[in-house]
Amino acid sequence: MKNLSWQTSQGSRIVRVGVVRSACYAVETGDGRRYLIDTAVPGERAAIEAQLERLGFKALDAILLTHAHGDHAGNAAAWSRRFGCPVYAPAGEVGQVRAGRCVLPAGATPLGAAVMAVQRRLHVCETFEPVPDVRPLPLGEGVFGPHLGVVATPGHTECSASIVVDGEAALVGDALIHRGRSVFPPFADRPEQVGDAWRVLLGTGAETFLCAHGGPVGRALLERSLAALERPGRRPRAGREAPTARRHAPPASAEESRAPLRPVLRHPLRAVAVPASAAPFPFENPLAVEIEPAEGRRAAGFLTL
Ligand SMILES: [Zn+2]
C-alpha cells in the first residue's frame, strides 16, 4: 500500500507508514520537529526504515507510543538507538515497555475473545525488545511543541493515549479499529470506557482519526458510532477479567502452552490461510477464522500471526 499522508492548516504533515500488520505515523510538525507515533512490529522494520528514509526522516525528536502492545512498541528500542531519540509511553504502561512484555488485551466481542484466546496461546505480539529508559508520556499540550497535544483515551488498554496534531487530526492507536463498518476495537481491557474515549477524541475538534489498524475515520463516522454505542442496551459491560490481576500473573509455563485451547464459543473455530487480498484490511499472512457450523463455510473474521 502506498503512503497515505495528511497536511494540517498549521503546516504539519502526517504520513502513514508500515501498513501491513500495524501502522505507525511519521509526523513533521509546523515548527519542523519530527516524531514517530507507534513503531509497528519488527517484521516491518526494514520496510518502514526505507519509507522514513524516502521521507527524509533521518533523526527524530521523540517516539510516542499510544500504548504498550507489542505491535505498537515492537521497534521502539531499535529506533530509539537508530534515531537517537527518547521513547515516551502512557505513564501507567511504562513498566510494560521497559520490560518488553505487554498485557494482551481481553476480547471485547465473541470473535475478539476467540482470536485473543489463540493469540494468548501463541504469545503473538506479547514480547518485544525492552526499552530501558522509556519515559512517561505527559498529557496536555506544549511538551512536544505548539502543534502536538496528548489526550488520555483508555478503553483498549487501561492507559491508552492519543496524539492530536493541530487540533485537526488525532493518532488514536487502537482506540478505534476500523474494519468494515465497525470502529469498535474487538479487543479491549475496559470496553465500557471506549465510548468515553471517543467523546474525548471528538472533544479535541479533530476531523480525522487515524488508526493503527484500518483506514482513517472521519468525524461523522465517529459521531454515528458513538451515538449507536450509547443507544439503550448497547453500552458494553465492564471487562470481566481485571487487567491488573493478569498483569501480575506469571507467564504461561511450557506445559500450559501445550494445553488445548479452552473453548470460548459454543461452536468450534477453524482457521484457514487465505491470500492477503481476501482480507478486508491490509494484513500479513491473514487467516480466515470460521465458526462452525456457520451459514455455509463463510469466514467470520480474520486474524494474523
Ligand atoms: Zn493494541
Expressed in angstroms and rounded, the spacing between residue 67 Cα and the centre of ligand 1 is 7
pLDDT at 2: 52
pLDDT at 126: 83
Expressed in angstroms and rounded, the spacing between residue 271 Cα and the centre of ligand 1 is 22
Expressed in angstroms and rounded, the spacing between residue 149 Cα and the centre of ligand 1 is 20
pLDDT at 243: 43
C-alpha cell at 273: 490461510
Expressed in angstroms and rounded, the spacing between residue 26 Cα and the centre of ligand 1 is 18
pLDDT at 187: 87
pLDDT at 66 over 60: yes
pLDDT at 65 over 50: yes
Model confidence pLDDT, tens digit, residues 253-278: 444 334 444 444 444 455 555 555 55
Expressed in angstroms and rounded, the spacing between residue 137 Cα and the centre of ligand 1 is 17
Expressed in angstroms and rounded, the spacing between residue 72 Cα and the centre of ligand 1 is 7
Average pLDDT value for residue range 6-23: 90
Please state, rounded to an integer, the average pLDDT across all residues of the chain: 81
pLDDT at 28 over 50: yes
Expressed in angstroms and rounded, the spacing between residue 188 Cα and the centre of ligand 1 is 8
Expressed in angstroms and rounded, the spacing between residue 73 Cα and the centre of ligand 1 is 10
Model confidence pLDDT, tens digit, residues 178-209: 887 789 998 899 999 999 999 999 999 999 99
pLDDT at 252: 40
pLDDT at 190: 92
pLDDT at 242: 41
pLDDT at 272: 54
Average pLDDT value for residue range 157-166: 97
Expressed in angstroms and rounded, the spacing between residue 295 Cα and the centre of ligand 1 is 30
Q: What does each C-alpha distance from 277 to 1, 104, 283, 285, 298 come to in angstroms?
A: 12, 27, 9, 10, 16
Expressed in angstroms and rounded, the spacing between residue 296 Cα and the centre of ligand 1 is 32
Q: What does each C-alpha distance from 90 to 73, 152, 166, 176 come to in angstroms?
A: 12, 8, 20, 17
What is the layout of strands, in order, in the sheet containing 269-273? 269-273, 286-291, 301-304
C-alpha cell at 274: 487465505
pLDDT at 81 over 50: yes
Expressed in angstroms and rounded, the spacing between residue 51 Cα and the centre of ligand 1 is 23
Please work out, in degrees rounded to the nearest 5, the angle formed at the alpha carbon of residue 172 by the alpha carbons of 10 and 158: 140
Least confident residue range of 3-17, 139-153, 250-264, 286-300: 250-264
Confidence of residue 3 (pLDDT cuts 50, 70, 90): low
Expressed in angstroms and rounded, the spacing between residue 213 Cα and the centre of ligand 1 is 9
Cα–Cα dist 16/211, whole Å? 10
Closest to 78 measured CA to CA, from 19, 24, 18, 131: 131
Model confidence pLDDT, tens digit, residues 92-138: 999 999 999 998 888 887 777 777 777 777 777 789 999 999 999 99
Cα–Cα dist 152/288, whole Å? 33
Expressed in angstroms and rounded, the spacing between residue 248 Cα and the centre of ligand 1 is 19
pLDDT at 80 over 60: yes
Model confidence pLDDT, tens digit, residues 42-54: 989 999 999 999 9
Cα–Cα dist 243/241, whole Å? 6
pLDDT at 275: 52
Cα–Cα dist 25/56, whole Å? 14
Expressed in angstroms and rounded, the spacing between residue 160 Cα and the centre of ligand 1 is 9
Expressed in angstroms and rounded, the spacing between residue 108 Cα and the centre of ligand 1 is 12
Expressed in angstroms and rounded, the spacing between residue 174 Cα and the centre of ligand 1 is 5
Expressed in angstroms and rounded, the spacing between residue 156 Cα and the centre of ligand 1 is 7
Percent of the chain whose predicted confidence (pLDDT) is above 90: 60
Domains present along the chain, CATH in parentheses? 4-229 (3.60.15.10), 265-305 (no CATH)
Expressed in angstroms and rounded, the spacing between residue 266 Cα and the centre of ligand 1 is 26
As residues whose CB is below 5 A from the ion ligand 1, the structure lists: 69, 174
